[in-house]
């Protein structure tokens, strides 16, 4: 029996829309948490400074880094076989980074800093 039998395979054409839904869900979650944090903070210059820095970073990073990364990921997805693994929406390295970031974020959140 081959392990490929248990691979959750989907049509290759479904990978880019699925990746878009995943990234959109993560983005909405992060923006929601940031808004809750900013609204719960004392109104003052640190809150506005954090908001301004976040907006400037987002405005600069989207055209630069994210579009380049999106093109690279699309090329990787299109190079997959006709029936690709569902988890192929991200590279192995990206899954590892996501796990590390989740663990560190949870640790930071519970640390009381």
DSSP string, 13-58: GGHHHHHHHHHHHHHHHHHHHHHHHHHHSPSSHHHHHHHHHHHHHH
Q: Are 82 and 11 spatial neighbours (Cβ–Cβ below 8 Å)?
A: yes
Give me the helix-helix angle, 45-61 and 15-40, nearest 10°: 160
CA distance linking residue 37 with residue 29, whole number of Å: 12
Residuewise pLDDT in 10s, the chain (113 residues) = 577 778 888 999 999 999 999 989 998 998 888 888 777 777 677 777 878 888 888 888 777 788 888 899 999 999 998 999 988 888 999 999 999 999 998 898 888 77
pLDDT at 53: 86
3-state helix, strand, coil in the chain (%, to 5): 80, 5, 15
Confidence (pLDDT) at 46? 76
39 CA to centre of own chain: 23
pLDDT at 79: 93
The answer, as to whether pTM is greater than 0.85, is no
> How many Cα atoms sit within 13 Å of 55 on the Cβ side?
7
What is the C-alpha to C-alpha distance for residues 13 and 11, in angstroms, rounded to an integer? 5
Query: What confidence score (pLDDT) does residue 21 get?
Result: 95
């Amino acid at each position: 029996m081959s392990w490929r039998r248990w691979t959750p395979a989907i049509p290759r054409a479904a990978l880019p829309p699925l990746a878009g839904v995943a990234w959109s869900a993560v983005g909405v979650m992060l923006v929601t948490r940031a808004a809750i944090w900013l609204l719960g903070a004392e109104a003052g210059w640190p809150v506005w400074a954090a908001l301004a820095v976040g907006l400037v970073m987002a405005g600069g990073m989207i055209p630069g880094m994210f579009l380049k990364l999106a093109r690279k990921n699309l090329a990787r997805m299109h190079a997959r076989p006709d029936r690709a693994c569902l988890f192929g929406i991200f590279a192995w390295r990206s899954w590892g980074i996501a796990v590390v970031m989740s663990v560190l974020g949870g640790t930071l959140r519970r640390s009381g800093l």
